[in-house]
């Protein structure tokens, strides 16, 4: 017993012992060897400061260079077979070849080579004039008059269609006829140049089909070479554009087939059969 307890009464000593026993035991926080120290939970302020420091210390990733962007956006290179630009240019050159063939025939070929059906479709005034003069000199006055009447009627019909086209189109669209109104209002319908451009090639093909038995001595090698190449080039071009233009493809396939028929007959007669003889 301590010195303080010696001077206390027995009752006071007993009360002091009871108070000591009633106190809650103190938690033993001593760590044994090998125990891990408990991790202190960081405060909200410390967490915010740490995130701010990280954002400042780590700079944002650099933007991609212009070269990388260009290489990523650049389309894959296409070969000539799949290039619409290549076939379109070839078709344009062949189209100029048709004009060149007409000039060549006008300067070098005799008038009997001129096809009136083809010349009328291609609208080559000088060749038409030469053909009519040739027929007139051979006494074919009735045939010449018939051609002039047909040409005049065709020209008058074309002018009437051009002048009345907008009025007729508006009337058809306003009528709300299920199929007719939709066709009349179409961006590539019969009231637009997009419709008549391939249609003119159907007329060229028709002129060739009407003369499948034309004598080979009256076939222009230059003209049918240009027509055959035009049909071939634009047939491929029509399948490469977006969207695919099946109408343009079909008309050029017909042009290629009809022109190649005449060209093959001409080549066979002039360069194969003559050599055999």
DSSP string across 217-273 = GGS-HHHHHHHHHHHHHHHHHHTTSSS--HHHHHHHHHHHHHHHHHHHHHHIIIIIH
Q: Report the distance separating Cα 190 and Cα 91, nearest Å.
A: 24
Beta-carbon contacts of residue 254 (< 8 Å; ≥ 6 apart): 201, 202, 205, 231
Q: Report the distance separating Cα 259 and Cα 112, nearest Å.
A: 19
CA distances from 59 to 6, 52, 53, 54, 193 (A): 75, 12, 11, 9, 59
State residue 43's pLDDT score.
54
State residue 5's pLDDT score.
47
CA distances from 70 to 61, 63, 67, 229 (A): 19, 13, 5, 37
pLDDT tens for 166-176 read 999 999 999 99
Query: In the predicted model, is pLDDT for residue 144 greater than 60?
Result: yes
Q: Which of 208, 197, 213 is nearest to 254 (CA)?
A: 208
211: its two tokens: 């003369």
Mean pLDDT on 147-160: 88
Are 16 and 5 in contact by the 8 Å Cβ rule? The answer is yes
Q: Report the distance separating Cα 69 and Cα 194, nearest Å.
A: 38
The residue assigned the tokens 């554009």 is: 241
Query: In the predicted model, is pLDDT for residue 77 greater than 60?
Result: yes
Helices marked H in the chain — which ranges?
Answer: 3-6, 10-22, 44-57, 66-73, 84-108, 116-122, 125-137, 141-174, 178-185, 193-209, 221-238, 246-267, 273-276
pLDDT tens for 198-245 read 787 888 888 888 888 889 998 999 989 999 999 999 999 999 988 888
What's the whole-number average pLDDT of the chain?
Answer: 78
CA-only gyration radius of the chain, Å: 48
Beta-carbon contacts of residue 52 (< 8 Å; ≥ 6 apart): none
pLDDT tens for 18-40 read 666 655 455 555 555 555 555 55
């Amino acid at each position: 017993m301590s010195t303080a307890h010696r001077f206390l009464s027995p009752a006071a000593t007993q009360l002091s012992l009871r108070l000591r026993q009633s106190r809650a035991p103190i938690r033993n926080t001593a760590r044994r060897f090998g125990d891990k120290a408990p991790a202190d939970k960081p405060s909200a302020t410390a967490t915010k400061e740490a995130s701010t420091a990280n954002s400042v210390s780590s700079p944002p990733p650099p933007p991609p260079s212009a070269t990388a962007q260009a290489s990523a956006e650049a389309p894959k290179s296409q070969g000539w077979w799949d290039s619409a630009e290549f076939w379109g240019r070839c078709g344009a050159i062949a189209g100029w070849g048709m004009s060149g063939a007409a000039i060549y025939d006008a300067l070098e070929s005799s008038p009997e080579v001129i096809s009136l059906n083809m010349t009328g479709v291609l609208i080559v005034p000088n060749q038409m004039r030469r053909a009519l003069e040739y027929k007139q000199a051979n006494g074919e006055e009735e045939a010449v008059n018939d051609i002039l009447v047909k040409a005049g009627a065709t020209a008058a019909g074309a002018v009437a269609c051009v002048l009345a086209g907008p009025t007729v189109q508006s009337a058809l669209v306003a009528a709300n006829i299920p199929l007719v109104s939709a066709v009349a209002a179409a961006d590539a319908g019969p009231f637009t140049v997009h419709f008549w451009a391939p249609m003119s090639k159907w007329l060229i093909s028709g002129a060739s089909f009407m003369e499948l038995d034309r004598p080979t001595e009256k076939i222009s090698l230059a003209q049918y070479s240009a027509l055959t190449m035009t049909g071939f080039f634009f047939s491929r071009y029509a399948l490469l554009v977006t969207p695919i233009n099946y109408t343009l493809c079909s008309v050029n396939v017909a042009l290629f087939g009809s022109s190649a028929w005449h060209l093959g007959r001409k080549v066979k007669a002039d360069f194969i059969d003559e050599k055999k003889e």
